[in-house]
Structure 1
Amino acid sequence: MPMPMSTLTLERARAGDGQAFRELTEPYRRELQVHCYRILGSVQDAEDLLQETLLAAWRGLDGFEERSSLRSWLYRIATNRCLNALRDGSRRPGEGWAYRLEVPLPEPTRRGDPSWLEPYPDVLLAGLPDAAPGPEAHYETKEAVSLAFLVALQHLPPRQRAVLVLRDVLGFRAAEVAGMLDTSVDSVTSALKRARATLATRLPADAHAEAELPYSPRERKLVDDFSVAFERADVDAILALLTDDAWLTMPPLPYEYQGLDAIGHFLRTVALRDGRRFRLVPTHANGQPAYGLYLVDPRTPIAHAHGLVVLTLSGQRISALTRFVDNGLLPRFGLPHSLRATGA
């Protein structure tokens, strides 16, 4: 009786057939990369760790005993590689990292911890498999890639972060997670309890509020209105689109502004000060509408890259503006470093 194709493919891969190994692992590449991103908060680090995971799997394929699924085995490798990277700390900017402020910032509503979270291009999320997460999952896929969830996740210790993602996002059973992390079920249960308690205090109260469906006509109208208002430097029109308790944050800077007065003051004195004008180019990040920002040079017909802003929607309003200052993020979204400022 012929062996199942998966078994034949596994044997070919173990014999050194690279194409067979790719056939085995390709279905899991996208979800493993998103998994690494959730734990690390960095697109570049997630790409690097995915490659490290696949290389470790290729080298260690003889050690795969088939007592678990190949998917679980790959998640075990990826999770432990991510935890090692977090312990190492070398993938984060050092103490000397600094963003040069163009003007002094107004006093924030609060000062948070520096966050190295980066936005994740929706084009990478589009490749995720349609399979639903396991029965243990507590979060829908869309919610588990949102910026609010990712920001809250970054406040967990690494091991708790991994346990929560494996259990509540991916739906692995406690025994499976214990095996992945070489620990006991009791330890996993305890870590998950602490992680859930922390997340409950970190996630916004309206994190589960119903927002517009991604790419829907009503979402498009809301974000188009924001774009028009921002390009016109119309602060009052921008504020009219926000919820009363909206937040403006700027990872990795720790300055956070809440409410229409604080955000309006920031826009008038910093972002849109002295007649500054922007061009906005639409994109999507973390399942949310976003824009590449381009500052118009009044002396030339060129607008220069000025970071990225991601909009969090709540109902028919915008509840958060997350401003990423790193222009190096733009190419990942297919956005240029400059463009013609025609019509500005």
Structure 2
Amino acid sequence: MTDDRPLGADEATFLAAVRADDTARFALITERYRRALRVHCYRMLANYEDAQDLTQETFLRAWHKRESFKGHAALRTWLYRIATNACLDFLEKRNDRTPVPAGLSGADWEVLYLQPYPDRMLPEDPQESVVARETIELAFIVAVQHLPPRQRAVFILRDVLGWPASKAADSLELTVASVTSALQRARVTMREQLPDRRFDWRITDAHELSNDERGVVKSYIDAHERNDLDGLTSLLRDDLRFAMLPDAGTLTTTAKDAVEGWVSGGLFQCGHDDWRGITTTVNRMPAAALYLRTPGDPEHRLFAIAVLRIADGKIAELTGFDATGKPWLGLPPAL
């Protein structure tokens, strides 16, 4: 695998660390790629905790294979190759890391292992993230999971990272023809899963919440804090898509039925009616972190995070995640 490029500072430092068997220098030079590699693994796996583990596995493999790095390719390319193949090895061993048929009407497939990605863990340099906002949003991550693992890898390397076919083929030990064929099939599936999206994934688009988005999230939190069911209903579109992961059951429902379903499930009832919330973002999407105070507890405890897709001032999609026991979200455990 060869990049037509002069030896860079990172490559030279890495080679010096390898020759000296210097673990400290090796760790220092590879650590700067951690965030970008973790995002890459997350796109492959849709699970933040798995992505953390596979990023660490990438560094372990890189150390064991350090003698194979000759500086002919960029260090970044070499690490991405190792990370991609580590993810493929993981997926080969796990039969629970594919979408499953939905248990409820209104959705065909569900990704029960999906986890949110904390924005604070994204690469700080927009050029380092090498992706548009859309490629970290939940809808994109879910759509990618419908691709077979090797096809998924081809799609991410080619259409997200922008690698040429020859470099992707080298990394996956495939022919260029095989990579081209896999990419064509992957694009068909992605267009089926995301029919309303543009497909120039490599345009970098830093995102801050708009005033409208902030307003909707604030109103969503206010409705919880006031137990205002009418106000909550008014924020939801009548074709709302709702899921509460990792529970099965993504469904399209009316706003009224959605709120009634939450109430019948115990929310906004005695013991589940003392809420606080804070506005945040995950997957570069607006989100509300919800805190619940149960009887006898002096504090509101982190309960769930609701990730919202807002369209025309209404909540079109709401994906809820159990937020307990996830310190990596970077949220206060109590308010």
Compute the TM-score of the two structures, normalised by the length of structure 1.
0.82
1:283 has 2:274 as partner: no
Report the counterpart of residue 189 of structure 1 in structure 2.
180
1:333 has 2:324 as partner: no
Report the counterpart of residue 202 of structure 2 in structure 1.
none
Asked whether the 8 Å contact 2:207–2:284 carries over to 1, the reply is no
Q: Report the AA paired with residue 12 of structure 1.
A: A
- Runs of at least 5 residues in structure 1 that lack an aligned partner in the other structure: 94-105, 134-139, 340-344
1:231 has 2:225 as partner: yes
- Runs of at least 5 residues in structure 2 that lack an aligned partner in the other structure: 1-6, 200-204
CA distance, structure 1, for counterparts of residue 262 and residue 250 of structure 2 = 13
The structure 2 residue matched to 1:264, chosen from 243, 259, 267, is 259
CA RMSD across the alignment: 2.9
Report the counterpart of residue 47 of structure 1 in structure 2.
52
CA distance, structure 1, for counterparts of residue 8 and residue 40 of structure 2 = 29
Instruction: Tell which deviates more after alignment, 314-323 or 174-183.
Output: 314-323
Q: How far has the Cα of 1:31 moved from its partner?
A: 0.6
The structure 2 residue matched to 1:71, chosen from 48, 72, 76, is 76
SS at match of 1:318: strand
SS at match of 1:240: helix
Q: How far has the Cα of 1:92 moved from its partner?
A: 6.3
Q: How far has the Cα of 1:198 moved from its partner?
A: 1.4
CA distance, structure 1, for counterparts of residue 206 and residue 318 of structure 2 = 16
CA distance, structure 2, for counterparts of residue 226 and residue 35 of structure 1 = 32
**Residues 107-256 of structure 1 mapped to structure 2, 5 A cutoff:** 109-110=106-107, 112-131=109-128, 133=130, 140-203=131-194, 205=196, 214-256=208-250
CA distance, structure 1, for counterparts of residue 128 and residue 332 of structure 2 = 34
Q: How far has the Cα of 1:289 moved from its partner?
A: 1.9
CA distance, structure 2, for counterparts of residue 72 and residue 228 of structure 1 = 47
The structure 1 residue matched to 2:318, chosen from 306, 321, 341, is 321
Report the counterpart of residue 12 of structure 1 in structure 2.
16
CA distance, structure 2, for counterparts of residue 72 and residue 202 of structure 1 = 29
Q: How far has the Cα of 1:44 moved from its partner?
A: 1.4
Asked whether the 8 Å contact 2:11–2:71 carries over to 1, the reply is no
CA distance, structure 1, for counterparts of residue 89 and residue 8 of structure 2 = 36
Q: Report the AA paired with residue 119 of structure 1.
A: P
1:141-186: CA deviations, max 9, x gaps?
Answer: 2110001111111222111111111111111111111111000111
SS at match of 1:328: coil
Q: How far has the Cα of 1:4 moved from its partner?
A: 6.8
SS at match of 1:192: helix
Asked whether the 8 Å contact 1:310–1:321 carries over to 2, the reply is yes
Q: How far has the Cα of 1:90 moved from its partner?
A: 8.1
Asked whether the 8 Å contact 2:126–2:206 carries over to 1, the reply is no
1:29-79: CA deviations, max 9, x gaps?
Answer: 211110011111111111111111112112212111333221111111000
Asked whether the 8 Å contact 1:212–1:219 carries over to 2, the reply is no
The structure 1 residue matched to 2:33, chosen from 22, 28, 39, is 28
Compute the TM-score of the two structures, normalised by the length of structure 2.
0.84
Asked whether the 8 Å contact 2:36–2:129 carries over to 1, the reply is no
Report the counterpart of residue 301 of structure 2 in structure 1.
304
Instruction: Tell which deviates more after alignment, 239-248 or 35-44.
Output: 239-248
CA distance, structure 1, for counterparts of residue 114 and residue 127 of structure 2 = 26
1:307-340: CA deviations, max 9, x gaps?
Answer: 22111222433221101135222x112234444x
SS at match of 1:274: coil
CA distance, structure 2, for counterparts of residue 10 and residue 306 of structure 1 = 44
CA distance, structure 2, for counterparts of residue 114 and residue 159 of structure 1 = 18
Report the counterpart of residue 100 of structure 1 in structure 2.
none
Asked whether the 8 Å contact 2:223–2:229 carries over to 1, the reply is yes
Q: Report the AA paired with residue 218 of structure 2.
A: D
Q: Report the AA paired with residue 305 of structure 1.
A: L
